Amino acid sequence: MRIAVLGAGAMGSVFGARLALGGAKVTLLDVNAAHLAAIAARGLIADLDGTEHRLPLAAMTPADFTGPADLVLLFTKVFHTDAALGAIKGALGDAMVLTLQNGIGNAERIAAHLPADRVILGLTMTPAEFLAPGRVASHGAATTRFYSADGQARPILDDLVAVMRKGGIDAKADPEIQAAIWEKAAFNCAMNAICALTDGTPGGIGALPEALTLAQDTAAEGIAVARASGIAASGERVRALIDHAAAHHLLHAPSMLQDRKAGRRTEIDALNAAIAERGAALGIPVPINRMLTTLVRLAEAMPAYRQNTAGARP
């Protein structure tokens, strides 16, 4: 299987490495010139569960990619989806596009670029770290699930599961993928946004009963929006996930907190903001997600505001 990984940062490079180990012909596509140069010079170095792999993968910018590909694995941050897919428009041919990005609305964003029956939608709990240009790491088994966005069974799903498993990814074709995606998003809306705003961790949330209630109420709004959208997401499963994280992932720093600390843009638009917008459209009350969206956007905007107003009177 010829797979182009579009957005070969932490996740894209880890998946690219594992897919290559599984026998796929992998091309990494990214706009990070230092990363591309390091891969061209030394190959992609991937520490996978403590074993270092040096993989001589093809790596180039999306604009330089001419195809062909059977599958494009989209792993940019959500807010770069349009630019990335736009850049490979001429090379897409009749490739399927798989997204394992976080948040909701990913299938719709991709379907703006190609027919909806070529979109595969999924999620992964695999952790990945970008250590340096040309070097990534991932530790710990975690599930990856996906299915055709239109709900149809297709042979490529089984082929992809086989390649992923051969490469060490715990992959599964899951017709209930929409519910799983909304459950993960509801969980992330709670844990990511609250931690990002408070420099908090799941354990810290668990240690303050009213913070745990806030997290559960945030997620419950997301589940209510999912169910009003006709998606059978389970509030019970998400409650249990939050309780588990609060009791066991004591000092974990969620990605939105890491992004805030590094001054990077967050994926709030695909998480709390998406819940707030869809809830408003459906008449489902979403006051907590609306407030968390505003606070995260304010936190993101403040450094530029301070810089632009430096020297002004207090």
Q: Which of residues 95-154 bind ligand NAD (CB under 6 A)?
A: 101-102, 124, 127-128, 130
| Position with the least CB separation from ligand NAD | 9
For residue 130, the minimal CB distance to ligand NAD (Å) is 5
At residue 46, what are phi and psi to the nearest 5 degrees?
-125, 120
How many other C-beta atoms can be found within 10 angstroms of the C-beta atom of residue 127?
A: 15
The b/e string for 168-206 (b: 16+ C-beta within 10 A; e otherwise) is bbebbbbeebbbbbbbbbbbbbbbbbbbbbeebbbebbb
Q: Which of residues 181-200 bind ligand NAD (CB under 6 A)?
A: none
Beta bridge partners of 136: 46, 130
Q: Which of residues 71-90 bind ligand NAD (CB under 6 A)?
A: 75-78, 80, 83-84, 87
For residue 283, the minimal CB distance to ligand NAD (Å) is 29
- Compute the distance between CA of residue 234 and CA of residue 3 in angstroms, rounded to an integer: 33
For residue 88, the minimal CB distance to ligand NAD (Å) is 8
Per rule CB under 6 A, count of chain residues that contact ligand NAD: 28
Q: Of 44 and 78, which CB lies nearer to ligand NAD in the complex structure?
A: 78
Per-residue binder mask for ligand NAD (CB under 6 A), 203-242, x = binder:
----------------------------------------
The b/e string for 3-32 (b: 16+ C-beta within 10 A; e otherwise) is bbbbbbbbbbbbbbbbbbbbebebbbbbbb
DSSP 8-state code for residue 28: E
How many other C-beta atoms can be found within 10 angstroms of the C-beta atom of residue 83?
A: 11
Beta bridge partners of 171: 144
Let me know how long the chain is: 314
Q: Based on the shown chain and the rule CB under 6 A, indicate whether residue 60 belongs to the binding site for ligand NAD.
A: no
Q: Which of residues 250-269 bind ligand NAD (CB under 6 A)?
A: 255, 267
Task: From 1-9, 45-53, 151-159, 171-179, give the range in contact with ligand NAD by CB under 6 A.
Answer: 1-9
Q: Based on the shown chain and the rule CB under 6 A, indicate whether residue 32 belongs to the binding site for ligand NAD.
A: yes
Among 1, 2, 25, 31, binds ligand NAD (CB under 6 A): 31
User: Is residue 184 flagged as an active site residue?
Assistant: yes
Task: From 10-18, 152-160, 232-240, 275-283, give the range in contact with ligand NAD by CB under 6 A.
Answer: 10-18
State whether the Cα torsion 56-57-63-67 is positive or negative: positive
Do 121 and 174 meet the contact criterion of CB atoms below 8 Å apart?
Answer: no
List the catalytic residues. 184
> Applying CB under 6 A, which residues contact ligand NAD?
6-12, 29-32, 62, 75-78, 80, 83-84, 87, 101-102, 124, 127-128, 130, 255, 267
